[in-house]
Amino acid sequence: RVPSFVRIVEVAPRDGLQALQTDAEITVDTKISLIQQLAHAGLRSIEAGSFVSAEWVPLMKGSDEVLRAVLADPDMTDVAFPVLVPNTYGFKQALEAGAREIAVFTAASESFCQENTNCSIAQSLARCEKVIGLAQEHDIKVRGYVSCVLGCPYEGEIDSAMVAYVTERLFQMGCYEVSLGDTIGVGTPGATAALLSTVLSAMPDAVDKLAVHFHDTYGQALANITIALQYGISVVDASVGGLGGCPYARGASGNVATEDVVYLLQGLGVECGVDLSRLCAIGHFITSELGAPYMSRVGRAAGKR
């Protein structure tokens, strides 16, 4: 049942950097260089930035410059660069910068939704619907995110039925793919299996349109991804170097490292089109450039640092 090809959505330039605590400056040039290197390693979906409020998330400032530069690069014409968009204001900025794909985001937890976007889940879904409508008018593809699918930093356990409901709404609105986010990395293989059973029994056809997005706080991300693959899911979000976190989920660690996911997939005989040794070199480059710890076990073992 494990798919023969997995598409990795590389999220380091957005999720990896948005909450990074470092004394180093994260310049627009560093972000562009990171994206170019990731594309060169074979990644074909690279989240390039975020059109959220700079007061809320200062490190995503300059996403317009980054997006313009990578879209204009003739070596990356076959790469998708989704950018996060929270509302119509952000959509207009993304459109001006030339976005061809955006990602809307909401949550399965009321408290997290409030903390992250200053509105309820219902209001957030209404915002998503507006943004998706505008995107459709401009032929822009829309990915969706649901946060806190396996636990919330404010509410603890989350009802899988709520995850299924929010996911289904995003599909109905027109998202071509919905990524299920374990924002704080508390999920276990058992909980992942239970969640996917609930979601897929509510919408069996969604298996080809779901992605999984694990943070690795409790070290369960690879085990959880293995379960997701066994459920037939073939899109996995990951962040080179294991960079990442959400500013509104304190204590949550980085995303699962892309290097580790690629190694896992190779071990399962699953193609993903990514060059592992190049990826390890990128993990080494970006974490030393930013003074961040290199969290990829595979990258460290491969002796790149």
Beta-sheet pairing, 210-214 with 49-50: unpaired
44 close to 273: Cβ distance less than 8 angstroms: yes
How far apart are the C-alpha atoms of 255 and 134, rounded to whole Å?
30
Q: Which of 31, 173, 28 is nearest to 104 (CA)?
A: 173
Q: Beta strands 235-238 and 210-214: pairing type? A: parallel
Scan for tokens 């989704």, then name that residue: 82
Q: For ligand HMG, which is the closer residue by CB, 59 or 302?
A: 59
Rg over alpha carbons for the chain, rounded to the nearest Å, is 17
Degrees to nearest 5, angle at CA 278 with 3 and 271: 10
Q: Which of 113, 246, 272, 280 is catalytic?
A: 246
Question: Can you state the angle between helices 276-290 and 28-40, rounded to 10 degrees?
Answer: 170
DSSP assignment of 180-216? EEETTS---HHHHHHHHHHHHHH-GGGGGGEEEEEB-
Determine the interface stretch with ligand HMG among 86-94, 220-228, 260-268, 293-301 (rule: CB under 6 A): 86-94
Nearest distance from residue 66's CB to Mg ion, in Å? 18
Candidates 169, 213, 284, 304: give the one binding ligand HMG (CB under 6 A): 213
Q: Least separation, in Å, of the C-beta of 137 and Mg ion? A: 28
DSSP string, 284-300: HHHHHHHT-----HHHH
Buried-state track 160-199, b at ≥16 Cβ within 10 A, e below 16: bebbbbbbebbbebbbebbbbbbbbbbbbbebbeebbeeb
296 binds ligand HMG (CB under 6 A): no
Which member of 89, 161, 273, 291 binds ligand HMG (CB under 6 A)? 89
Stretch that binds ligand HMG, among 66-74, 84-92, 130-138, 291-299 (CB under 6 A): 84-92
Q: Is-catalytic flag, 246? A: yes
Q: Which is nearer to Mg ion, 211 or 280 (CB)?
A: 211
Is the dihedral angle over the CA atoms 302, 21, 14, 4 positive or is it negative?
positive
Interface characters, 13-42, with Mg ion (x: CB under 5 A): --x---------------------------
Interface of this chain with ligand HMG, residues 8 to 67, rule: CB under 6 A:
15, 18, 50-53, 56-57
- In angstroms, what is the minimal distance from the CB of 30 to ligand HMG? 19
To the nearest 10 degrees (0 to 180), the angle between helices 63-72 and 88-96 is 40
**CB-nearer residue toward ligand HMG: 104 or 272:** 104
Which CB sits closer to ligand HMG, 52 or 236?
A: 52
Per-residue string for binding with ligand HMG, 105-144, x by CB under 6 A? x----------xxx--------------------------
In the complex, the smallest distance separating the C-beta of residue 261 from ligand HMG, rounded to whole angstroms, is 15
- Please pick, from the candidates 153, 181, 254, 299, the single residue that binds ligand HMG as defined by CB under 6 A: 181
Binding site for ligand HMG (CB under 6 A): 15, 18, 50-53, 56-57, 84, 86-87, 89-90, 105, 116-118, 145, 147, 181, 183, 213, 246-248
Q: Which residues are catalytic?
A: 246
Binding site for Mg ion (CB under 5 A): 15
